Structure 1
Amino acid sequence: MVPKALVIVESPAKAKTIKRYLGSDYSVEASVGHIRDIIQPKNVKTDKRYNPATHENNSELRSYGIDVAGQSTSENTWEPWYVVSENSKKTITHLRKALKNTELLYLATDEDREGEAIAWHLVEVLKPKIPYYRMVFHEITEKAILEALNHTREIDMDLVAAQEARRIMDRMSGFGWSGVMRQVIGGGASGGPVQSPTTRRLVERERERIRFISADYHSLTASVFSEQDEMFPTKLVEVNGRKVVSGKNDFDENGELKRSSEVVILDQEQASSLQEALKTETLTVSSIERSPYQRKPKPPFTTSTFQQEVINKLGGSASAAMGIAQSLYQNGFITYHRTDSTALSDQAVEAARVSIQTVCGIEYLPEKPRTYENKTASAQLAHEAIRPAGEVFRHPDELKGDLNKDQLRVYEIIWKRTIASQMTDERGETARMLLGGIVSHENNSEPQAVTFSASGRVITHQGFRYIYEETTESDEESEGEGVLPDLPEGEVVTIGQIEVKNHSTKPPARFTESSIVKWMEEVGIGRPSTFSATIGKIRAREYAYKEGRSLVPTVKGIVGTNFLELEFNDEVQYHNRADLERSLDQIANGNEQRTEMLDRWWFEK
C-alpha cells in the first residue's frame, strides 16, 4: 500500500518514534539536518549560475558565496548561493523517491529558526507539486503528533529570514576574520562572531587572574555557651567599632583594602593575642533580630539553565547535556529542548500538580498554579519550558528499563525541576545575634571592645526543597541553617573553644562550561541552542582546554584574541554582538527587514 502522505523530520531517531503514532497512510523520513549550505567561494566560478559579465567584479560573491547586490539596481538583496551538501545528495534522492505518488507533504522539522529554514530548503530543493504543510509540535507523544497534523500552518518566512541573516553574518565574519588571522598568526587560526567574543571572555578572565595580587587575613571564631548550657558558633565581626576583614570583597585586585580607614585586618599576632585574651572573658547578648524566611522555587528549565544545572550536578560538557536531551526528546520522554521559555502549558501544570500531590503530599501543593515571566522577547518563546512529555509525568522509577544511566539521571533532573517549579515556597525563620565584650591584653593597657555575630536559619516547611535543590558553583560560605537559642538581651554567655584561621584571597575563578553558558546568556552572545556548539568549537580549535572543570585559554587563544582586539576591536565587543542578536529577534518577529539589517551591519560598521 502506497502511503498517502510523507512526513519529513530532521533525525532518523525522531522519524522512528513518530512512525509509531501514525498508520500506514503515512511515511516518515528524515532530512538528517540541513540539506543545503552556502557555496564555498572556491566553487563560485564553476557554478552554473556564475556569469563573468555580471559577477566578475562581485567581490562579496567571490569571497563569501553571497551575492549582496543581486539583480536589483535599487537595493541590495543579499542572496546566498545555496548548494546541496555533498553528504545530503543521497538523502535528497531518497526523499524525492518517497515523495512520488503521495498526496500530501508535512514538513515536521523543529520549531525554531534552524528547523524553519530546513523546511524551507526542503521545499526549494524537492519542489513538491502536491500540497505541503508546516507541522510543528513540542513533544513527541501520540496526542501531540495527531494534534499537530490537524493544526498545520505555512512556513514562517520571518524565522527563515532570521536564520539566513545569521548564516550570512557567520559566513562573512568567519571567512573575513579567519583569512586575516591565518596570514598573520598561521596554524589554522579562525574567528567567528560568537566564538571569538566568547574566547575573548575566557582570555580576559585569565588576564584578571594574572593581574591579581593575593592578600592574607585571619578570622576568629568561638563556640559559646548560654546559661542553659546551649552551645552555638559565633564569629568576630568588629574590634573597637571597626569591621573585621572577612573575605575577598574587602580587597581590590591589587590586594589592597578598599576602605582601610573603616576596617581592621587581623594578622597572626593580633588574632593569637585576641584568642589568648578571650579565654578568660565572657560575652553579652546585645541584640537579636529574627525575621521570616521565604524562598521561591526556580522556574522550569530553559535551554541555558538546563545546560548549567546538568553540568553542575553531573559534570561533563554542554554538548553532552544537549546530546542526552536530544535523545530524550526524540524518543518521546521530554519536550523540545531548545527553548528560551519558562512557560508550562495548562496540561503540564496539571500534570505537575497531580505529581506533587501523589509524590510529596497535599501540603506541598500551592492553592494556585505558579506562572513565570519570561526574560527574553525572542521568537523561541512559542515553545514551552523543558519538561517531561505527556499528559501524565512518568516517575523516573518507571523508566529504569527504558533509559540508560545518563538519560535517567538527566530525565530525573528535568522531572524534579518541573515539579518543584509548581510547589510551595520553602519557609522558615532567620536570626542574627550580636554579642559584645571587652578584652584586655597583658601587653596592652588599652582594653578592646569586640563584637561577635551568630546567625542561623530554621526551616519550618521544606516546600520545593522536599524534592529538588539547585546546584551552584558559588564558593561563598552559605548562611548556617542551625538553630539559635532564644536568649534575652543582656544574657551573659561563656566562651569555649576559640579558633584562628589564616585565609588568602583567591583570584577570580576560571570559567567552567556552566558559568560561560550563564555569561553568554546574560550578555546576549549567541543563542542558547548554539552555546554548546560554540564551546565545542573553541576547544576543538585549541583556543582553550579543560583542566578539571575549568576552561583554560591556550597561547593560541590568547594570541588570537590579542590580534582580534587590535584589528577587529568593534566586532569582538560584547554589546555589538548582543545588539545583533536583538536585531535577529526583531527579524524573526517580523519587526525588521533582513536586507535592511544586513546593510546596516555590513556597510555602516
Structure 2
Amino acid sequence: MKKGLIFLESATKKKTIQSFLGEEYVIFATGGHLWELKKSGVYNLGVDLENFQPSYEVIAEKKSLINFWKNYLSKEKILAIYLATDPDREGEAIAQETAKSLGIDPIKCQRLLFYEITPRSIKEALSNPLTINQNLVESQLSRQVLDRMIGFCLSTILQKKLQALSAGRVQSVVLKLIIEREELIKQFEKKKLYILCGLCQVNKQKITLKQVDETGELILYKEKSAAEEIKKKLSLIFQLADQKEEKKFILPKSPLITSLLLFEAKSQLGFSVAQTTQLAQKLYEGVWISSQRKQIGLITYPRTDATRINQEFTSSAYQYIKKNWGFNYVNTNPAWKKKEKTLNVQGAHESIHPTYLNYQPEEIKSSLTEEEYKLYKLIYNHTLASLMSPAQINKITWRFLNNNYHFVTTERICQFAGFLAVAPEVYFPNYNVKLKSELITLWSPAMPGISQLEAYKIEVQEYQENKPVRYNEGSLVQELERLGIGRPSTYNLFGRVLLKRGYAKLNEKGQFIPTPLGIAVNNWLQANFATLINEGYTAALETELDKISQGENDYLTFIKTFWENFSFSLARISK
C-alpha cells in the first residue's frame, strides 16, 4: 500500500519531488486545468445569466488522463490523496477540478502548498496538510467568468464594427497605456527644447559640462538659434569656480517579486517576459546538478507579489555576507521590510530567492544552460544585495565659468560599497571599481587638482532628460504592478496577445508601438466603454477579486453586480 498519491500541475518537478519521497508515494501531473467553461448560451459565455451558474466540460485532451487516474485508483490502495498544484488561485481551482474529476469530495483530499522544491518544504507540507481554500476557488471562478464576459461580449461587437479580433479586461487597458505613451512622445517632440554643452576628455573619461543659471538650474532654450548665439560667445576653456560635495546613500532594491524579476531580466539580460517566465519555472521545478547527481529546485515559487524571506534563509544569508564582506555589510532592518504586503491566511508566499546559498552560480554553471545560469545568478546576487547595507556615495558638483556663463558637471565617488559589492557591474557598469583589502570600494575622481578644462567641442543638444520612453516588456510589467493591474501569473500574457492580434508591434529596441488597427480599437473602446476600459476600474476589479480570495466578498454577489452594470452599456452599444 502506498502512503499517498500526489497530484502536481507540472510533470517537470515530479522527478525532483520523487527523489525526496522515494517509492512510497505515487506522483501524477495534471498539466494545468482539467476543465474549461463551455462555449454555450448568450455570447457563448457558458454561464446561466439567470442564476450565474457556470457550465463546465472536460478539456478534450484530458479525458484519457482522468480515465487513467480512475483506473489506477480502482486497482491500487492509497492511504491519502494529496493535491499539490501550484500555490495560487489557479492552482487551487485545479486542485478542486482534480478531486471532482475523480469523483472524490474535495473536503476529503489534503492540500499541499510547495513554495520551494526542497526536502524541508516538502516535509513541512506533508506534516501540515490543508484543505482546499474555497475562497481562492471562488476568486478564480470570478476572474474566469469576468474575463469571459468582458472578452467575449466586447470581441463580438468589435469583430462586427472593426473586423478586429478581440478585446479583454486587462489586454485592452495595456493597449490604452501603450497608445497614451506614444501620444506623450509625440507631444514632447512637438515642444523640443535645447541645452548648451561643453564636451571634454579627462583621464580617458568623457565629461559633459551643461549650462546652468547662477542658482544651478539647467537652462533650456525653446529655439535652437538662441543657444547657438550664446555658443558663439564661448571659448574652449572652462575655468573652475567651485565644487560642492554631498553625502548620499543608495538603498538596495527589495527582494524579487514577479514583476521586478521580469523587469530586471529584461533590462540586465535582455530576456523577454516569456523567456524569463519559462526559465524561472524550470529553476523552481528542478535542474539536474551533475556534481550532486540529483535534480534540485534552485529557487522559490516564481509567481509572487510578496517580498518576505523566511528566517532560516535570512540567517544563513547574513552569515554568508559576514564571511565574504564583513559585519558592516549586513543590514538586519532593510527599508523594504517596512513596505512588505500583508500576507493572506495561507501566508507562506515568499519573494523569489535561492533555495540554497551553497549552490553558488559559478559552482553549478556547468549544469545549467547559459540562460539558466544568467537568470539564476541575477536572482542569487539580487537576494544577497537586498539584505546588505546601503552604499555611501559622495556626490561632487563641479561648477565652471566660461565668459561669465555657468556650467556644471557631477561625479559620484563611492566611499562604502555596501550592497554594490555583490555585483557592482550591474549597478554601476560605467565605473572603474576597485575593491580594497579593507572592503571599501573607491572610484577615483576624474578631476583631481584640475583648475580648468579644455573642451574639444561645444555643441547644442536636444534636451532628452524628461522625454517619455516607449514601454518594453519589462517596463510595461512594472507599470502594471504600480497600477495594481494583473497578477504575477498573468504578466507574461498581455504583450504577446497585443502582438498576436496586430494591435502593436515591437521596434528594433524591443519597445511597443501601436498599429493603426490598435489605435482604432482603442478609440472605439474609449468612445463606448471608457468607464470599463481604464486603469482605475481594472485595478478596482483586481481588488474585488482579492477580497473574494480573502472571504470578504463572494462570486455570486460580485458577478451579478458586474453583469447588471455591464449589460446595460452592452445593450445600448449593440443597438
TM-score of the alignment, normalized to the shorter chain, above 0.5: yes
Alignment partner, residue 33 of structure 1: 32
How far apart are the structure 2 equivalents of 1:382 and 1:367? Answer: 21
Alignment partner, residue 97 of structure 1: 71
Alignment partner, residue 363 of structure 2: 398
| 1:342 is the counterpart of 2:307 | yes
Of 261, 284, 294, 2:241 maps to 284
How far apart are the structure 2 equivalents of 1:240 and 1:309? Answer: 39
| 1:303 is the counterpart of 2:265 | no
Alignment partner, residue 328 of structure 1: 283
For residues 160 and 283 of structure 1, do their structure 2 counterparts lie closer, same or farther at Cα, with a shift above 3 Å needed? same
Give 2:375's aligned amino acid: V
Give 1:127's aligned amino acid: G
Q: Which ranges in structure 2 are unaligned for 5 or more consecutive residues?
A: 287-296, 429-441, 567-575
- CA deviation vs aligned residue, 1:414-473 (integer Å, no higher than 9, x gap): 000111111122113222244456x3xxxxxxxxx3223242322111111111359699
For residues 588 and 307 of structure 1, do their structure 2 counterparts lie closer, same or farther at Cα, with a shift above 3 Å needed? same
For residues 381 and 554 of structure 1, do their structure 2 counterparts lie closer, same or farther at Cα, with a shift above 3 Å needed? farther
Deviation at 1:589, TM superposition (A): 1.4
Alignment partner, residue 48 of structure 1: none
Alignment partner, residue 275 of structure 1: 234
Give 2:454's aligned amino acid: G
SS in 2 for 1:321: helix
How far apart are the structure 2 equivalents of 1:115 and 1:470? Answer: 38
Deviation at 1:198, TM superposition (A): 0.4
Alignment partner, residue 317 of structure 1: 272
Alignment partner, residue 170 of structure 2: 194
- Equivalent pair of 1:512/1:551 in contact (CA under 8 Å): yes
- Equivalent pair of 1:217/1:266 in contact (CA under 8 Å): no
Of 560, 574, 594, 2:535 maps to 574
Q: CA RMSD in A?
A: 3.2
Deviation at 1:545, TM superposition (A): 2.0
| 1:106 is the counterpart of 2:66 | no
SS in 2 for 1:502: strand
- CA deviation vs aligned residue, 1:3-51 (integer Å, no higher than 9, x gap): 231100001112222111112221000011010111112xx6xxxxxxx
- CA deviation vs aligned residue, 1:102-136 (integer Å, no higher than 9, x gap): 12100001111111111111122212279420011
- Equivalent pair of 1:11/1:31 in contact (CA under 8 Å): yes
Q: Which moved more, 1:166-175 or 1:556-565?
A: 556-565
Alignment partner, residue 168 of structure 1: 145
Alignment partner, residue 46 of structure 2: 65
Deviation at 1:241, TM superposition (A): 7.0
- Equivalent pair of 2:3/2:24 in contact (CA under 8 Å): yes
For residues 233 and 131 of structure 1, do their structure 2 counterparts lie closer, same or farther at Cα, with a shift above 3 Å needed? closer
Give 1:596's aligned amino acid: T
- Equivalent pair of 2:212/2:408 in contact (CA under 8 Å): no
Listed as ranges, the matches of 1:442-453 within 5 Å are 449-453=404-408
Alignment partner, residue 387 of structure 1: 353
Alignment partner, residue 109 of structure 2: 132
Alignment partner, residue 58 of structure 2: 84
- Equivalent pair of 1:338/1:529 in contact (CA under 8 Å): yes
For residues 7 and 451 of structure 1, do their structure 2 counterparts lie closer, same or farther at Cα, with a shift above 3 Å needed? same
SS in 2 for 1:413: helix
Listed as ranges, the matches of 1:36-47 within 5 Å are 36-41=35-40
- CA deviation vs aligned residue, 1:461-492 (integer Å, no higher than 9, x gap): 1111111359699xxxxxx97627788xxxx9
How far apart are the structure 1 equivalents of 2:234 and 2:69? Answer: 80
Give 2:314's aligned amino acid: V
Listed as ranges, the matches of 1:135-150 within 5 Å are 135-150=112-127
For residues 365 and 177 of structure 1, do their structure 2 counterparts lie closer, same or farther at Cα, with a shift above 3 Å needed? same
Alignment partner, residue 429 of structure 1: 394
Deviation at 1:562, TM superposition (A): 1.6
Deviation at 1:306, TM superposition (A): 0.3
How far apart are the structure 1 equivalents of 2:167 and 2:258? Answer: 25
| 1:500 is the counterpart of 2:461 | no
| 1:418 is the counterpart of 2:383 | yes
Give 2:556's aligned amino acid: T
Listed as ranges, the matches of 1:429-578 within 5 Å are 429-436=394-401, 439=403, 449-468=404-423, 483=445, 493-497=451-455, 499-505=457-463, 508-548=468-508, 549-578=510-539
What TM-score, normalized to structure 2? Answer: 0.85
Deviation at 1:386, TM superposition (A): 0.2
- CA deviation vs aligned residue, 1:341-363 (integer Å, no higher than 9, x gap): 11100011023223323444445
For residues 14 and 197 of structure 1, do their structure 2 counterparts lie closer, same or farther at Cα, with a shift above 3 Å needed? same
Give 2:110's aligned amino acid: Y
- Equivalent pair of 1:364/1:424 in contact (CA under 8 Å): yes
How far apart are the structure 2 equivalents of 1:595 and 1:119? Answer: 21
Give 1:457's aligned amino acid: R
Alignment partner, residue 131 of structure 2: 154
Deviation at 1:161, TM superposition (A): 1.0
Deviation at 1:183, TM superposition (A): 0.8
Alignment partner, residue 18 of structure 1: 17
How far apart are the structure 2 equivalents of 1:206 and 1:366? Answer: 41
- Equivalent pair of 1:370/1:422 in contact (CA under 8 Å): no
For residues 358 and 97 of structure 1, do their structure 2 counterparts lie closer, same or farther at Cα, with a shift above 3 Å needed? farther
For residues 526 and 265 of structure 1, do their structure 2 counterparts lie closer, same or farther at Cα, with a shift above 3 Å needed? farther
Deviation at 1:546, TM superposition (A): 1.8
- Equivalent pair of 2:7/2:83 in contact (CA under 8 Å): yes
Q: Which moved more, 1:569-578 or 1:499-508?
A: 499-508
Deviation at 1:494, TM superposition (A): 3.9
Listed as ranges, the matches of 1:216-295 within 5 Å are 217-221=194-198, 235-238=209-212, 243-245=217-219, 266-271=226-231, 273-276=232-235, 279=237, 282-285=239-242, 288-295=243-250
Deviation at 1:374, TM superposition (A): 4.2
Alignment partner, residue 570 of structure 2: none
- Kindly name which structure, 1 or 2, has the bigger radius of gyration based on alpha carbons: 1
For residues 411 and 500 of structure 1, do their structure 2 counterparts lie closer, same or farther at Cα, with a shift above 3 Å needed? same
Of 578, 583, 586, 2:547 maps to 586
How far apart are the structure 1 equivalents of 2:538 and 2:309? Answer: 30
How far apart are the structure 2 equivalents of 1:304 and 1:371? Answer: 16
How far apart are the structure 2 equivalents of 1:471 and 1:521? Answer: 23
How far apart are the structure 2 equivalents of 1:242 and 1:412? Answer: 41
Deviation at 1:405, TM superposition (A): 1.2
Give 1:483's aligned amino acid: P
How far apart are the structure 2 equivalents of 1:472 and 1:205? Answer: 27
- Equivalent pair of 2:401/2:407 in contact (CA under 8 Å): yes
- CA deviation vs aligned residue, 1:311-350 (integer Å, no higher than 9, x gap): 1111131011000001111111110000001110001102
Deviation at 1:301, TM superposition (A): 0.3
Q: Which moved more, 1:536-545 or 1:308-317?
A: 536-545
- CA deviation vs aligned residue, 1:181-211 (integer Å, no higher than 9, x gap): 1111125x10110111101211222233344
SS in 1 for 2:252: coil
- CA deviation vs aligned residue, 1:241-278 (integer Å, no higher than 9, x gap): 795535xxx8xxxxx59xxxxxx98522321x2323x6
What TM-score, normalized to structure 1? Answer: 0.81
How far apart are the structure 2 equivalents of 1:65 and 1:470? Answer: 53
Give 2:93's aligned amino acid: A
How far apart are the structure 2 equivalents of 1:149 and 1:367? Answer: 32
Alignment partner, residue 431 of structure 2: none
Give 1:194's aligned amino acid: V
Give 2:27's aligned amino acid: V
